[in-house]
Amino acid sequence: MSESENKSWQQEPFVVDVKRGDTKCYCMCGLTKTPPFCDGSHKDTHDVPMVVHYDKDETVYVCGCRKSANLPFCDGTHKK
Ligand code: FES
């Protein structure tokens, strides 16, 4: 399935509440079936997931439209 065929992405950011000590693995290839998180679908691509460790509780806005210049995070491009 190509990225454009994957209907589980969306046209707005995913709002992810993280806790201090969490580690999140964000999809960078666009092929995951569990966006915005990696499900291992990148294995036949040159992409690798972005692993982020959090040292505080916070809310993270992860790009759902795949057009951000700051993937995997939302940069507001989806509003254009
Ligand atoms: S959801 Fe993609 S830039 Fe905001």
pLDDT tens for 35-45 read 999 999 999 99
pTM, two decimals, is 0.87
Query: 8 falls in which pLDDT band (50, 70, 90)?
Result: confident
Is residue 6 predicted with pLDDT exceeding 70? no
The response to whether residue 22 sits with its C-beta less than 6 Å from ligand 1 reads: no
Calculate how far, in angstroms, residue 69's C-alpha sits from the geometric centre of ligand 1.
9
71 class by beta-carbon count within 10 Å (0-12 exposed, 13-18 middle, 19+ buried): middle
What per-residue confidence (pLDDT) applies to 4? 47
The response to whether residue 77 sits with its C-beta less than 6 Å from ligand 1 reads: yes
Is residue 24 predicted with pLDDT exceeding 70? yes
- Kindly report the backbone phi and psi dihedral angles of residue 41, in degrees, each rounded to the nearest multiple of 5, phi listed first: -65, -15
